[in-house]
Homo-oligomer: A and B are copies of this chain.
């Protein structure tokens, strides 16, 4: 099954203790699409500016991503500049230029209206709801948000949460949105907004899935070197949703596998700057790392 991804395309300038990269292709829709493309056909809806070249388009094409929904408009593409220091737990944003992304109004091509698997990356919740309502056949819709919308448009965000299936948030976002400092209570309270499941992304600490009454936790893959954490969360969501779209199985058991595939893709994404690693993977590497997660977490009862 194809996965429809709606989000941002950006040019990122990044400095980490391991080096720097200037104006490399990034953005939530890009990381999501590339990570998911290892599992299922991907359709992407995003906006880019006149500076988005055929070379950039070639990155999506190289992974056979359907770019009919990639709208090019006058102006410059979204730009983000940030740095990570020390243990690289958090990005420090140095500059954000929304550019054409400021006026992003996602247009879903008619050919995408039959999409059953959908991911709404971090954009205005009003736009997320608008997209959601154009997709009557959606079987499973994942959604990401951020503190900017949680603080700024909580009512609008809760409205769209009632119409999607899985929320992906980090710990702080879960606490802020729910008002509960306790993470379990926070997740359970978010589930009650009408969600099938809540996935808490914990960065280098892994991820936790709350689905029904069941909780599943997986660690992050222990890497020798985290080169660039940018896009880790989106690559996680891409692997997660890509696995669900590939299998067409939305059972709780398969959500657990999806969380591990998400962790696998996030672990690859951060090994190199930008998209380098997501473009140079093999399916064998993905399968091997999935099995390594089993070894990493196995203990005898």
Contacts and interface: CB of A to CB of B under 8 A. Distances in A.
Interface string A73-93: 000000000000011100000
A126 interface: no
A218 B182 contact: no
Interface stretch (A28-36, A140-148, A220-228, A274-282): A220-228
Interface in A103-133: none
A262 to B, nearest CB: 12
Interface stretch (A39-47, A161-169, A198-206): A198-206
A83 to B, nearest CB: 15
A3 B182 CA distance: 34
B225 A182 contact: yes
A112 to B, nearest CB: 31
A17, A204, A208, A219: which has the most chain B beta carbons within 10 Å? A219
Nearest to A85: B181
Number of copies: 2
A185 B294 contact: no
A297 interface: yes
A57 interface: no
Is chain A's interface secondary structure helix, strand, loop, or mixed overall? Answer: mixed
A181 B87 contact: yes
Contact of A297 (B183, B216, B224, B291): B216
Top 3 nearest A-B pairs (CB, nearest first) are: A217-B219, A205-B205, A256-B299
22 contacts: A88-B181, A182-B223, A182-B225, A182-B226, A183-B222, A202-B205, A208-B222, A215-B296, A216-B296, A216-B298, A216-B299, A217-B219, A217-B296, A217-B297, A218-B299, A219-B219, A253-B299, A256-B298, A256-B299, A257-B299, A260-B299, A294-B301
